[in-house]
Every structure is written in C-alpha cells, then in structure tokens.
Amino acid sequence: MQPLLRGGGQELNRRAGTENVTGIVGFGAAVKAALEGLEDDAIRLGRLRNRLEGGLRETPGAIVFSDGAPRLPNTTLFTVPGLRAETAVIGFDLAGIAVSSGSACSSGKVQPSHVLHAMGLGRELAQGAVRLSLGWSTSETDIEMTLKAWRKLADALLRGERRNTA
C-alpha cells in the first residue's frame, strides 16, 4: 500500500498527520450505541430460543443439545434419531429458513463434529445435528415458520420409520 501523503512515522508511514481523533470518537460512539440494549436483546433472543426449543421437543425423540447448560441465547443445536442433517438443511431451505448442519466448529466438513463426539454423542446423532442461529431481526413469526417446517420434516421422518418397521 503506497501512501498518498508522505510522513507519519508514528503511523508506520501509512498516514501522515496526527491520530484520527474523529474516527476514534466515532468508533467509541458506535460501540456505545451497539451496547445499548444488548442485554435486552439477549433476553429477547433467549425467550425466542426457548420457544423454538420447546416446539422442537414436541417431536417424539427430539434432542436439544446442551439443553439446560449455560450458553449463548442465539443458537440452538438439535436432532431427532434417524434424521440426516443434509435432508433437514434442504427441507428448511425449501421453507425459506437458513440452517446449518453440525456444530459451528465443524461447518463445511463432511465428518461429524469432534465437539459433538467429545460430548459423548454417537456418530448417528452427530450426523443428524442441525444448528440454527437467531439474530436481531428474528421474530415470533420466524419461530412459528421454523417450527412448521420442522414438524413437516419430522412427520416425514416418522412416517418413513413406520413404513420401515411395518
């Protein structure tokens, strides 16, 4: 990167002049604005997550990972035995809902998450794990849409199980 103005040894010769006081003050104001309401938003997201997880648990055999553990309010990881995460991701996508498979630290990998393995989950459950994150724009309507898509996926899975055992 070549500087447009010469000088500024205090800025590693990238910028001449004094410190960017305006930028520093602006950054401080942005941080203050971002922190205002952060606690309220975390409480709101926690309520939405709990509502989502309660609806997920209505499916027979549904598992919400780390349920009851201290964790961030915006993320949930869940499955039902026999679910293939790829199938769930496609099903949710068709319903207009973005989800991921596995834990965040294994995103984009084919193998089951080493974190889920370390938590004592078997390969089948780890391969069926679906992760969903909530954000500042997530609403009750979004939760209801997600639960509707989940019920459709879970019903199809359970119907398939009944056919296979009949």
| Catalytic site positions | 105
Q: How far is CA 17 from CA 4, 8, 9, 13, 145, in A?
A: 12, 6, 9, 10, 54
pLDDT tens track of the chain, all 166 residues? 776 777 767 767 666 777 788 999 999 999 998 888 888 899 999 999 999 999 999 999 899 988 888 999 999 999 998 888 888 999 999 999 999 986 655 555 556 677 888 888 888 888 889 999 999 999 999 999 999 999 998 888 777 755 554 4
What token pair was written down for 151?
Answer: 């019920």
Helices (H), the chain: 21-35, 38-56, 85-94, 114-118, 123-127, 140-165
From edge to edge, which strands make up the β-sheet containing 130-133? 63-64, 75-79, 130-133, 100-101
Ordered domains of the chain (ranges, CATH): 1-36 (no CATH), 38-165 (3.90.1150.10)
Give me the count of residues in the chain. Answer: 166
Q: Of 146, 134, 53, 65, nearest to 106 (Cα)?
A: 65
pTM of the model: 0.73
